[in-house]
Amino acid sequence: MNSRQPGGGRRAGALAELTRARILEFVREPEAVFWVFVFPVLMAVALGIAFRSQNGGRTAVALLESGPPAARAELEARLRASPQLDVKILDEEAAALALRKTRVEVIVALDADAAVPGDGAPPPLAYRFDGARAEGRAARLLVDDVVQRACGRADAVAARDEDAPRHGARYIDFLIPGLIGLNLMGSGLWGIGFSVVIARTNKLLKRLAATPMRRGDYLLSIALSRLLFLGLEVAAIAGAGRVLFGVEVAGSLALLGLVSLLGALSFGGIGLLVAARPRTVEAVSGWMNLVQLPMWLLSGTFFSYERFPEFALPFIRALPLTALNDALRGVMNDGLGLGALWAPVLILLAWGLVGFGVAVRIFRWQ
């Protein structure tokens, strides 16, 4: 009448069954699937389109309709001759608006009543641009250079341009690894936090604690079930980046997988820690947001964290999402190997182990 577990491996049996149950619960939750897989891909697409290099990489310039028509036509011809400029003829008002919205970087104007110098020299110009923006300053220099050369200025020093295009230097190349990191954090924390706290409020944790189940098995199964989705999550975002924007993985795919795995386990440990005590979904949501907030702001998902002051950088680099983003970018953008990534890898490992270790000790079963 009694049955023994086949194979006698009870330990593995319980862990496998717990993991299987968690995976089934997840895939039967359509909202969760949306947030983990669909949302990040949509975000990558939207941001990729918004930040794609506009005008085929040319600098947008507005030329005002003002000034003597002949002089303006001549100036327009000179500007249009440059392959680096995208010239629009606008009236005063439209040009001001375009500058505010950064649809153009600089406005070029001929003084309306500027007397043409008698000796046939070109009439004087005015540049209007946002000096606080690097793009504005660069556009002004570029336009001025085009005009001055066309009017006969000679270079005092011979110079040669050496174009060194870096692989993966576009914004979308920077963004995709960051989105992978952000998503691993989000799905690790939310995916674990909610289900653990709901199981607690439903007294399911208490019920499990009343069985001979090893308590560590339950916690481990939560972390393990993340691994299956991890591959899919990373593949969804990286695949969208590759297909839609041509974002390549410069380094090895195996290393990308390893780094993602570490990141998922690290946030799995942190997620368990955050979910170890709270009794309500509201409480755990608050904690989740509190834990993630500094990383949303500081960890360089959407822009480089190197812009923060020097003294803050060591702290920022110690955050798990920063470490994960650094490691992902190291593999995807810079093609680095494991040897060059030891620092972020160790940081991830430490967060994961500490999170899991403390969670096991303080976990509230009822």
Partner 1 sequence: MTPPAATASTFAVSCRGLVKRYPDVLAVDGLDLDVRAGECFGLLGPNGAGKTTTVEMLEGLTVPDAGTIELLGRRWGKGDDRALRQQLGVQLQETKLSEKLTVRETVRLFRSFFETGREVDQVLDLAGLQEKRAARVGKLSGGQKQRLALACALVGDPRLLFLDEPSTGLDPQARLRVWEIVEEFKARGGTVILTTHYMEEAARLCDRVAIIDHGRIIALDTPAALIASLGASQIVSFIVDGELAERELAALPGVRVVTRQAPSWVLSVDQAGATLPTLIALLEGRGLRMDALSTHQATLEDVFVHLTGRGLREQ
172, 179, 185, 199: which one binds partner 1 (CB under 8 A): 199
280 binds partner 1 (CB under 8 A): no
Q: Which stretch binds partner 1 (CB under 8 A): 58-66, 143-151, 160-168, 199-207?
A: 199-207
Map the footprint of partner 1 across residues 78-137, applying CB under 8 A: none
Query: Which contacts (CB < 8 Å, 24+ apart) does range 136-141 have?
Result: 136/105, 136/106, 138/59, 138/105, 139/59, 139/60, 139/61, 139/105, 139/106, 140/105, 140/106
33, 116, 209, 228: which one binds partner 1 (CB under 8 A): 209
| Three-state SS at 108 | strand
Q: Which stretch binds partner 1 (CB under 8 A): 4-12, 52-60, 244-252, 281-289?
A: 4-12
Q: Which stretch binds partner 1 (CB under 8 A): 212-220, 261-269, 272-280, 290-298?
A: 212-220
Map the footprint of partner 1 across residues 26-65, applying CB under 8 A: 28-29
211 binds partner 1 (CB under 8 A): yes
Q: Are strands 125-129 and 106-110 parallel, antiparallel or unpaired?
A: antiparallel
52, 133, 167, 207: which one binds partner 1 (CB under 8 A): 207
Q: Which stretch binds partner 1 (CB under 8 A): 16-24, 107-115, 260-268, 300-308?
A: 16-24
328 binds partner 1 (CB under 8 A): no
User: Do residues 211 and 269 make contact, with C-beta atoms less than 8 angstroms apart?
Assistant: no
| One-letter amino acid for residue 128 of the chain | R
210, 254, 293, 346: which one binds partner 1 (CB under 8 A): 210
Q: Which is nearer to partner 1, 81 or 210 (CB)?
A: 210
Q: Which is nearer to partner 1, 224 or 347 (CB)?
A: 224
Q: Which is nearer to partner 1, 213 or 258 (CB)?
A: 213
Q: Which is nearer to partner 1, 134 or 204 (CB)?
A: 204
53, 280, 304, 366: which one binds partner 1 (CB under 8 A): 366
CB of 37 to partner 1, least distance (A): 18
Within 275-341, residue ranges assigned H as helices are 281-298, 313-318, 320-332
Q: What is the C-alpha to C-alpha distance for residues 135 and 179, in angstroms, rounded to an integer?
A: 26
**Other CB atoms closer than 10 Å to residue 356's CB: what's the count?**
23
User: In this structure, what token pair is assigned to residue 90?
Assistant: 């606008």
Element (H, E) at 146: helix 134-150
203 binds partner 1 (CB under 8 A): yes
Beta pairing partners, 129: 106
Q: Radius of gyration of the chain from Cα atoms?
A: 29
**Other CB atoms closer than 10 Å to residue 11's CB: what's the count?**
11
